[in-house]
Amino acid sequence: MQSSWICLFLTAAVSALTVFPSTDRESHVRLHTLPQFRPPLLNVTVYDQEKVSPGYIFVGPYSQLAAKQITDLAEAYTTGPTIFDSTGQLIWVGSTIFPGRDAYDFKTVTIRGETMLSYIISPNEFYPDHPQGKAVLVNDRFELVNTTLPLFDTPEINIHEYRVIDDGLSVLMLYSEPVLVNKTWIQDDGIAEVNLTSGATLFRWSALEHIPLNASNFHLPKVGSTTQKRGFDWFHANSIDKNADGDYLLSSRHASSIYKISGSDGSVMWELSGKSHDIDHSNGFNFSWQHDARFRYEDKTKTIISFFDNAGVGINEEGKTTGNWSRAVVVELNTSVKPMTTRVLHSYDRPDHQISIARGNTQTLPNDNVFIGWATHGLISELTLDGTPVMEAKFQDGTMSTYRSYKFNFTGKPHLPPVVKSIVHGTSPKTANTFHYFSWNGATEVRSWNIYGASKNDSGSFSLLASVEKTDFETMFMTTGFMAFVYVEAVGVDGIMMRKSIPTASEVPRTWIGTFCTPDGVCNIKEHDGSNGKSGAAEDSSAQSQDDKYASLTPIGDDSVGNIHPGHVPGPHPLHRVMEDRALISGIGLMIVLVLVYFLTRFYRRRNTVRYQHVE
């Protein structure tokens, strides 16, 4: 008897936990309509909704900086440019443009008044398409419109900066060129301003020509220890900005210095660092290994800049060179005196008091909020100007990071149509349910969906099944009965139909093949079932009332769109769930397990009590 109970319990437990696995623990998105997409889930915590700045979150998730060969198709679609809304809902997955390639500095730019997307594709020797990497511009229809290759015939593109300025007249970039100096290969980092239309170089500057090698945090390597491909990375430029006077602001990570460079002759106008003679260090201000230095304000007597202070290169004490944790900083420089004095206007600490050993950025939003990308795990903070947190986000997959994180307003108008996937479940058409999944990658203006179904793929056979509110990147709706062909219409916020999907055949159970359907998927339902759900009834009786036509639809939620037929009620469909009915069955299975545990516990207690009394 005891072994029977144990076997029954284990069977129920295995059924609940393996046959219907919980997908709430998934760290990446799973979709029916676009099954190849696997971007990481972004968990968002909102502390003050009223103070959160509107806009979409722009990230470029990746798992490692080193180039690698992708052998798993799913892995090819986990990285790349990705847009989320402020709640963490997926908006656009851009990995289909360059599968398997990481994307850096992903953001919106303005070119001749038009909003576009820009990002840098990482070098990767395993891909024949520009293995040296490139920078790209994509329009709001997600079409590739411009490509910039590595500058000056350098071996590969510098991934740190692609900054479009002056309404698209030019772009600021960094480059890295191997140079042989006294039998040692040196990686000479430089800055360039390039005309975005003609490709002409407007300004070029070399670090080796203006900065001494001993400014680096690293010692010169031994002769023979470097190669042309792996030169001494002594400077490591990682950001470039330009002010209204035509001068440049350059950040060097490996010198822990920020330089103002003259746009007229390339001379160093001043250096901001912990060891610079241009700065009065009496107040103890210091930083190290920084990123993302930006001009914020300038006049004749002061300059205000912001930058991301990494403060170290490791999580142990040896790696924390100037601070216990990373921070974003806004600093005012008094340029009217020599040496210059510094005053920290704002300092925003990393919320978990950890070191971002690499990468990071800070952005000022239109409402003066501060948006900070801490890089590691995709950690993001949005704060008010005084440092009050209003939002925090990070990837659910702790192995993923992003070089920078931004927030922008953006309107996506995809050139590709929406996608629908309908899956039929049931032992026969009469008892079947059809689950419809639909999405439109990158569309930001969809409010609801119209679902149309038919028993045959003929334009005159389709009729409206339901109008359902958009609930997520991928929305799900269920109808009772078998629906052979389906298409959807995306309806905008203004109530106007935007685009329709291509009519698609529903996926039927394999057990139907040979019984209800031919091997090529043609299903002749009438031979086996006089009731063909909604679509069959529509064909059998043209005089059927509108209410009868929709009688076979089953509501599965509790939120309906105002002008929808009462039977059409959309159900929620979170990204991390594979199927609504599986979640329900999983819950039932778990309840069964709990009931079995309860009775099993009572059985053993009762039996042990009897044995104890018998021994007494």
Average pLDDT over every residue of 238-261: 98
pLDDT at residue 2 in the model: 44
Is the CB of residue 216 less than 8 Å from the CB of residue 273? no
Instruction: Write the pLDDT tens digit of every residue in 334-366.
Output: 999 999 999 999 999 999 999 999 999 999 999
Instruction: Write the pLDDT tens digit of every residue in 548-583.
Output: 333 333 322 333 333 333 233 333 333 333 333 444
pLDDT at residue 70 in the model: 75
pLDDT at residue 459 in the model: 74
Query: Which amino acid is it at 277?
Result: H
Largest CA distance in the chain: 102
Among 59-73, 137-151, 194-208, 227-241, which stretch is predicted with the lowest mean pLDDT? 59-73
pLDDT at residue 533 in the model: 40
Eight-class DSSP state of 221: P
Q: Which carries the bigger pLDDT value, residue 602 or residue 113?
A: 113
Report residue 152: phi and psi, to 5°: 55, 35
Tokens of 49: 């909704």
Task: Say which CATH superfamily domain 420-574 falls into.
Answer: Immunoglobulins (2.60.40.10)
The pLDDT of residue 207 is above 80: yes
- Alpha-carbon distance 154 to 132, whole Å? 9
How does residue 588 score in pLDDT terms, banded at 50, 70 and 90?
A: low
Instruction: Write the pLDDT tens digit of every residue in 6-20.
Output: 333 333 333 333 222
- Alpha-carbon distance 75 to 384, whole Å? 37
pLDDT at residue 586 in the model: 54
Instruction: Write the pLDDT tens digit of every residue in 122-133.
Output: 999 888 888 999
Instruction: Write the pLDDT tens digit of every residue in 415-453.
Output: 999 999 999 999 988 889 999 999 999 999 999 999 999
How does residue 587 score in pLDDT terms, banded at 50, 70 and 90?
A: low
Among 145-159, 477-491, 572-586, which stretch is predicted with the lowest mean pLDDT? 572-586
pLDDT at residue 176 in the model: 97
Average pLDDT over every residue of 326-341: 97
**Residue in this structure with the two tokens 């108008």, named with its chain if needed:** 413
Average pLDDT over every residue of 229-237: 96
pLDDT at residue 528 in the model: 38
Eight-class DSSP state of 334: E
Please provide the size of the chain in residues. 616
- 502-527 burial, b at 16+ Cβ within 10 Å, e below that, comes to ebbebebbeebeeebbeeeeebebee
pLDDT at residue 72 in the model: 75
pLDDT at residue 436 in the model: 97
Q: What does pTM read for this prediction?
A: 0.82
Tokens of 118: 């820009």
For the chain, the average pLDDT equals 84
The two counts, helices (H) then strands (E), for the chain are 5, 35
Is the CB of residue 381 less than 8 Å from the CB of residue 336? no
The pLDDT of residue 601 is above 80: no
- Alpha-carbon distance 239 to 107, whole Å? 15
pLDDT at residue 591 in the model: 66
What are the domain boundaries of the chain? 420-574
pLDDT at residue 608 in the model: 39
Average pLDDT over every residue of 477-484: 93
Instruction: Write the pLDDT tens digit of every residue in 269-305.
Output: 999 999 999 999 999 999 999 999 999 999 999 999 9
Percentage of residues in the chain having pLDDT higher than 70:
80
pLDDT at residue 169 in the model: 97
pLDDT at residue 35 in the model: 93
Q: Give the up-direction half-sphere exposure of residue 472: CA atoms within 13 A in the CB hemisphere.
A: 21
pLDDT at residue 613 in the model: 33
- Alpha-carbon distance 205 to 261, whole Å? 9
Average pLDDT over every residue of 483-510: 95
Q: Give the up-direction half-sphere exposure of residue 477: CA atoms within 13 A in the CB hemisphere.
A: 32
- Alpha-carbon distance 323 to 288, whole Å? 9
Is the CB of residue 437 less than 8 Å from the CB of residue 476? yes
Closest CA to 254 of 186, 351, 324, 350: 186
The pLDDT of residue 532 is above 70: no
Average pLDDT over every residue of 51-61: 97
**Residue in this structure with the two tokens 């001749």, named with its chain if needed:** 112
